[in-house]
Amino acid sequence: MQTSAFASIAKALTRRQCHREGLRQRFDEASDGTRTAMLLDMLDRNGAMPSRDLADAAGLSVKAVRNLLDGPRQRDQVRFLADLAVWEINRNYDEDLHAQLLAAAALLRRHGWTVEKGERHG
């Protein structure tokens, strides 16, 4: 049995809406933290996701998602894979190491040193 083009489009749109509703429910259940923490939790639970899906699940604009994930991206906690247009959690991110580096930089600054952001390797 062949389906019409209209029926195929309707089926695809319905499937997409169900996916979005499922993401929205999981986002609501994610945590009671900040919006950024909830986006990070969403990425952690679901794997790589495009900005549009994160925005739909969170009830935010795509621009708000990008802005909220900019800090974690700068800390290398998340990555934006431009070729796939998706965000993903960096599984190699070490929160303790990041805190130690911030503390070391603060100590050096207190003693008159100038600390500049370096390049990432690896």
- Sign of the dihedral through C-alpha 34, 36, 38, 44: negative
| Per-domain boundaries in the chain | 21-110
CATH class, 21-110 region: mainly alpha
pLDDT in tens, 64-105: 999 999 999 998 899 999 888 899 999 887 777 777 888 888
Looking at the predicted structure, is the pLDDT value of residue 5 above 90?
A: no
> Model-level pTM greater than 0.75?
no
**Run of H or E including 38:** helix 35-46
- Rounded Cα distance, 21 and 80, in Å: 24
pLDDT in tens, 6-55: 666 666 656 655 555 665 555 555 545 788 999 999 999 889 999 999 99
